[in-house]
């Protein structure tokens, strides 16, 4: 059994990745502090599903706790480390920069120190498309400049890339940095546009549409993303001295790879897809651009294709339908569960939590052919 350590295992992407690794027969040691950036009940539910597999174990604590990750590395001796734990979100970083300093900078430092003490065969760390900042030469390639971050979130991720590069160079640690482009899908993050739009549209509430909808995002379905991560696990960067392709450092076993759909979508198209999937019209509240945001993102994915043969390609309407189906099941199950049990799902016992797996069953029958103007 291949031993892996996944930070941020109970987060959106971590959950999907852990499920995939467990299905592929990996042993997974996870760590997640279940931060309250968004409802921790959703994280506990994801975690309960993972805990049903005996090959999964988890520590619920913060990665920046000095010595904690080093102890985990010594206990588990992971061959593969996937680092997803972070304070995410561009807008939140404007009002809460310290959370980013702590999780993203101090947390990544502790991870690198642990890897120095107990070196894994390959470390893969999450960065973001936000590091490309104001670059308007599209699509973005890994070799494009990333020297002008426009939010503190982007700045901490850029720092993460640089810190990991130094450790790769100094200690010969093979490192892959991912730059993710707006990931979406079932079990997604409540702070992200698709979740907020779906919730508001189903309630008949207005949605905030920034830059009056004049924004393009390279929306990437989480299944495509996880397939790409899984393939990249087996494609570590070449050691120093061997031939280096684009995106690989000239002085370290360190590579950066975009993971995006390479097909940017206007915000209006996303909203239309949610309207179609829910069978309800959106009420649009048109607003100016938010500080820290960029008008467009677009991944050049030729490096990913060259390394793995994969090109994420889920079409937005299909992906949004997939999300809305999950959202309806989730909402239905939690509402029914709370009414029956008279308590929140976060208080549920492990056996009750196993019922959450039912959320992956078929969605309730909704009539998507007819559009309704009234809230449910
Ligand atoms: N979702 C996206 O569109 C997207 C885009 C670009 C980059 N990323 C990056 O991908 C990674 C995963 O993102 P996600 O969307 O799954 O976010 P998420 O918030 O759902 O997952 C992150 C998880 O890390 C945990 N965490 C946060 N700080 C921690 C700490 N100090 N110690 C231990 N656990 C901690 C959180 O509780 C959460 O469960 C992050 O590094 C994020 O910056 C995500």
The string of pLDDT tens digits covering residues 115-140 is 999 999 999 999 999 999 999 999 99
The answer, yes or no, to whether any atom of ligand 1 lies below 6 A from the CB of 13, is yes
Q: What distance in angstroms lies between residue 84's CA and the mean position of ligand 1's atoms?
A: 5
| Average predicted confidence (pLDDT) for the chain | 90
- Give the pLDDT of residue 337: 54
- Give the pLDDT of residue 203: 96
Q: Which atom of ligand 1 is nearest to the CA of 10?
A: 39
Q: What is the mean pLDDT of residues 284-305?
A: 93
Percent share of the chain, pLDDT over 70:
89
Confidence class for position 246, pLDDT limits 50, 70, 90: confident
- Give the pLDDT of residue 352: 36
Q: Which residues contact 241 (CB under 8 A, 6 or more apart)?
A: none
Answer yes or no: are the C-beta atoms of 176 and 125 closer than 8 Å.
yes
Each residue's pLDDT tens digit, 97-106: 999 999 999 9
| Residue among 6, 13, 98, 224 whose CB has most ligand 1 atoms within 8 A, to mutate | 13
Q: What is the mean pLDDT of residues 296-323?
A: 97
Q: What distance in angstroms lies between residue 50's CA and the mean position of ligand 1's atoms?
A: 17
Q: What distance in angstroms lies between residue 126's CA and the mean position of ligand 1's atoms?
A: 9
The single-letter DSSP state of residue 286 is E
For the cut 70, the answer to whether the pLDDT of residue 374 exceeds it is no
- Give the pLDDT of residue 373: 41
Q: What distance in angstroms lies between residue 85's CA and the mean position of ligand 1's atoms?
A: 5
- Give the pLDDT of residue 293: 85
Each residue's pLDDT tens digit, 327-368: 999 988 887 654 444 433 333 333 333 334 443 333 333 434
For the cut 80, the answer to whether the pLDDT of residue 313 exceeds it is yes
- Give the pLDDT of residue 336: 64
Q: What is the mean pLDDT of residues 185-212?
A: 96
Q: What distance in angstroms lies between residue 370's CA and the mean position of ligand 1's atoms?
A: 37
User: What stretches of the chain adopt beta strand conformation (E)?
Assistant: 3-7, 27-31, 56-59, 80-83, 122-128, 175-180, 183-184, 206-209, 216-217, 220-221, 254-259, 265-266, 283-286
Dihedral class, residue 77 (left if φ above 0, else alpha if ψ from -120 to 50, else beta): left
- The owner of tokens 């992200």 is 192
Q: What is the mean pLDDT of residues 267-293?
A: 94
What's the CATH fold of domain 3-184+220-259?
A: Rossmann fold (3.40.50)
| Residue among 18, 20, 34, 35 whose CB has most ligand 1 atoms within 8 A, to mutate | 35
Residue with CA nearest ligand 1 atom 11: 84
Query: Is residue 376 packed enough to be buried (19+ CB in 10 Å), middle (13-18) or exposed (0-12)?
Result: exposed
- Is residue 153 flagged as an active site residue? yes
The answer, yes or no, to whether any atom of ligand 1 lies below 6 A from the CB of 34, is yes
Confidence class for position 292, pLDDT limits 50, 70, 90: confident
The answer, yes or no, to whether any atom of ligand 1 lies below 6 A from the CB of 8, is yes
Confidence class for position 278, pLDDT limits 50, 70, 90: very high
132, 153, 167, 184: the active-site residue: 153
For the cut 70, the answer to whether the pLDDT of residue 230 exceeds it is yes
The answer, yes or no, to whether any atom of ligand 1 lies below 6 A from the CB of 88, is yes
Q: What is the mean pLDDT of residues 175-184?
A: 98
By mean pLDDT, which of 78-82, 127-131, 241-245, 319-323 is the weakest?
Answer: 241-245
CA dist., res. 261 & res. 161, Å (int): 22
């Amino acid at each position: 059994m291949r031993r892996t350590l996944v930070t941020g295992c109970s987060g959106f992407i971590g959950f999907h990745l852990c499920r995939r690794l467990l299905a592929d027969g990996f042993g997974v040691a996870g760590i997640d502090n279940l931060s309250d950036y968004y409802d921790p009940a959703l994280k506990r539910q994801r975690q309960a599903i993972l805990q049903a597999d005996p090959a999964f174990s988890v520590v619920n604590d913060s990665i920046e706790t000095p010595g904690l990750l080093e102890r985990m590395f010594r206990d588990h001796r992971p061959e593969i480390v996937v680092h997803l734990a972070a304070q995410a979100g561009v807008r939140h970083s404007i009002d809460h920069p310290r959370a980013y300093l702590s999780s993203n900078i101090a947390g990544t430092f502790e991870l690198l120190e642990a890897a120095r003490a107990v070196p894994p065969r390959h470390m893969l760390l999450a960065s973001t498309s936000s590091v490309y900042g104001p670059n308007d030469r599209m699509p973005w390639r890994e070799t494009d400049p990333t020297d002008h971050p426009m939010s503190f979130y982007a700045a901490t991720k850029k720092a993460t890339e640089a810190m990991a590069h130094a450790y790769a160079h100094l200690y010969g640690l093979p490192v892959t940095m991912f730059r993710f482009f707006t990931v979406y899908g079932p079990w997604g993050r409540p702070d992200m546009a698709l979740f907020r739009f779906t919730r508001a549209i189903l309630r008949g509430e207005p949605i905030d549409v920034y830059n009056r909808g004049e924004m393009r995002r390279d929306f990437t379905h989480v299944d495509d993303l996880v397939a790409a991560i899984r393939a990249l696990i087996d494609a570590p960067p070449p050691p120093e001295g061997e031939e280096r392709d684009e995106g690989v450092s000239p002085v370290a076993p360190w590579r950066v790879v975009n993971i995006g759909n390479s097909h940017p979508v206007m915000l209006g198209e996303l909203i239309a897809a949610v309207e179609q999937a829910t069978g309800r019209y959106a009420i649009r509240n048109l607003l100016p651009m938010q500080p820290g945001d960029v008008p467009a993102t677009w991944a050049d994915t030729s490096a990913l294709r060259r390394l793995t043969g994969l090109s994420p390609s889920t079409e937005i309407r299909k992906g949004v339908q997939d999300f809305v189906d999950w959202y309806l099941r989730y909402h239905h199950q939690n509402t029914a569960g709370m009414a029956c049990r008279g308590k929140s799902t976060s208080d549920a016992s492990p056996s009750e939590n196993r019922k959450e797996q039912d959320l992956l069953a078929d969605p309730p029958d909704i009539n998507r052919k007819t559009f309704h103007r009234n809230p449910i």
